[in-house]
Amino acid sequence: MPAAIQVCYAPADYERRPPAFWRGRAAVVFDILRATSTIVTALAAGCGGVRCFRAVAAARRYAARHARTALAGERDGVPPPAFQYGNSPREFLSWPPAYDTLALTTTNGTRAIAAAADGGAARVLIGSLLNLSALAEYCRRAGLPLTLVCSGTGADFSLEDALAAGALLAELRRAHPLVSLYRANRADLRRALHTSRNGRRLRAIGLAADLDFCLQRDRYHVVPALAVDGVIGI
């Protein structure tokens, strides 16, 4: 019998967990609107690696010491002052030749990635709809027990991350309540994302095109994973 699936539905479920919570497990982090979709897109376009930061100041300090690192991310959906890029995957459809790597800090996504990394998960994988089939293949082959980390919106649950986690479990043919949630919405995922709290927030600041981009299933066949040096690569 496959090991039980663990799910973190919101930050309170993944912050400050003891190492025993993560040990021996593959943590698949979803923040499909938009941090994990951005990481998948940037790496697929040729970015050499993504380093995630919880805090804007730490990302700035790192970029100041690494000349070919671009600063990207958001607070309240928009780039912090003096950042070269925001958190839109559409900014990375082609990788800017002036840079090798990305220093990324976002409200929830990079926090969730840092929580799984600091907790000592055996693998930290980056999940989105953009790379869902590749991710399912990877999980099947790795055979590790899964912890699905839905990054959430602020302190709360986010529908879009739960739907993506359900889509992965459906692909893996695992029985779980998230699969029912996904099946109930899959005929009109676009509507679900556009009416979600995060979707409405991004639409209100003129970023509806990001929602449609992030909805694309299997645009990329890559599985970003965190390496021992703390850099996410493919």
Residue type, 94: S
Pair 99, 68: CB distance under 8 Å: yes
Give the integer Cα–Cα distance in Å for 128 and 132. Answer: 6
Q: Compute the least distance from the CB of residue 86 to ligand MLT, in Å.
A: 8
| 33 versus 132: smaller Cβ distance to ligand MLT | 33
Binding mask 172-211 for ligand MLT (x = CB under 6 A): ----------------------------------------
Verify binding: residue 114, ligand MLT, rule CB under 6 A.
no
Q: Compute the least distance from the CB of residue 135 to ligand MLT, in Å.
A: 18
- The region of 29-37, 50-58, 60-68, 176-184 touching ligand MLT under the rule CB under 6 A is 29-37
Nearest to 78 by CA among 215, 196, 204, 193: 204
- Rule CB under 6 A: choose which of 101, 108, 147, 196 binds ligand MLT: 108
Please tell me whether residue 226 adopts helix, strand or coil conformation.
Answer: strand
Binding mask 39-58 for ligand MLT (x = CB under 6 A): --------------------
Residues 6+ apart with CB under 8 A from 121: 22, 23, 25, 26, 27, 147
- The region of 33-41, 94-102, 121-129, 164-172 touching ligand MLT under the rule CB under 6 A is 33-41
Verify binding: residue 91, ligand MLT, rule CB under 6 A.
no
Cβ-based burial of 4 (10 A; exposed 0-12, middle 13-18, buried ≥19): exposed
Q: Compute the least distance from the CB of residue 126 to ligand MLT, in Å.
A: 12
Q: What is the largest CA-CA distance in the chain?
A: 51
Give the integer Cα–Cα distance in Å for 232 and 125. Answer: 9
Verify binding: residue 128, ligand MLT, rule CB under 6 A.
no
Task: Kindly list the residues in this chain that would bind ligand MLT in the complex (CB under 6 A).
Answer: 31, 33-35, 74, 77, 87, 106-109
